[in-house]
Copies of this chain bind each other. A is one copy, B any other.
Amino acid sequence: MKPTDLPPHISRQYDKELEDVRERVLLMGGLLESLLDRTIEVLDSGDRELAVQVAESDYQVNAYEVSIDEECTEILARRQPAASDLRLVLAISKTITDLERIGDELEKIGRILIKQIDADTPRSRYVGLRTMAARVRDLLHETLDAFTRMDSHRALELIKEDEKIDEEQDSILRQLITYMMEDPRTITSTLDIILAVRALERIGDHAINICEYVVYLVEGKDIRHITLEQARREIEERG
């Protein structure tokens, strides 16, 4: 009996499993988006309780990772997917690792913000951090959107935008270093803000990794370590 001869309900059940695991990835991503929203709110309002929420939500993210990973292993073991289904399951397995690490970075940022609020750091010191957080939230949102629609062209565009975030980061860091130089008493607290900026940068890197999996999923091409130009050319050549 070939797979296509399977009774329809079995095949439908399998489709449902794949759809279910994809949906749960989006739920996990949505949780991280909302944590980034809360981070921005903390930067605007100085709300300590909200910062504690950001610092302590990691366990929810982790629970998602473990359970989705189990689902993926289960599907691989029972369904033995081939071709594009196999790529989907592998891409999901990698995506949730990146999402989980975004959770780790958010936890660090939350802890830093609690310290800053307790130390009454002037709000003006956060301007760059806030800009960066908004950028990264947009990037994550669009990444999850590209993932939902399996839009590899959009994913490639997002990969390119990453350079802009890096440039922005450099100018924010230079600004923060100026604060340190002008008033060495602020060194310790400014250093924490710098580490929060770097954590946001890494969240951006994880989003970009996910964009690369989307391209891999749709185009069947591993673009992780080829240049953007090459990737674009190869995709265009296929139409």
Q: Residues of A at under 8 Å CB distance from B?
A: 59, 62-63, 65-66, 69-70, 73, 76-77, 80, 82-83, 86-87, 90, 93-94, 97, 177, 180-181, 184, 187-188, 191, 194-195, 198, 222, 224-225
Contacts and interface: CB of A to CB of B under 8 A. Distances in A.
19 contacts: A59-B225, A66-B225, A70-B222, A73-B86, A73-B87, A73-B90, A76-B76, A76-B86, A77-B82, A77-B83, A90-B93, A93-B93, A94-B97, A97-B97, A177-B191, A180-B184, A187-B187, A191-B191, A191-B194
Main secondary structure of the interface of A (DSSP, over half): helix
Closest 5 CB pairs of A and B: A62-B225, A80-B80, A181-B184, A184-B184, A180-B187
A159 to B, nearest CB: 15
A99 to B, nearest CB: 13
A80, A82, A87: residue with the most chain B Cβ atoms closer than 10 Å: A80
A157 B225 CA distance: 34
A228 to B, nearest CB: 15
Nearest to A59: B225
B177 A187 contact: yes
Nearest to A188: B177
A187 B181 contact: yes
Contacts of A195: 198
A181 B186 CA distance: 9
Contacts of A225: 59, 62-63, 65-66
Contacts of A86: 73, 76-77
Nearest to A58: B225
Nearest to A82: B77
A222 B66 contact: yes
A134 B99 CA distance: 30
A66 B224 contact: yes
Contact of A69 (B82, B83, B222): B222
Given A62-B224, A73-B87, A93-B93, 9 more contacts: A62-B225, A66-B224, A77-B82, A94-B97, A177-B191, A180-B180, A180-B184, A181-B184, A181-B187
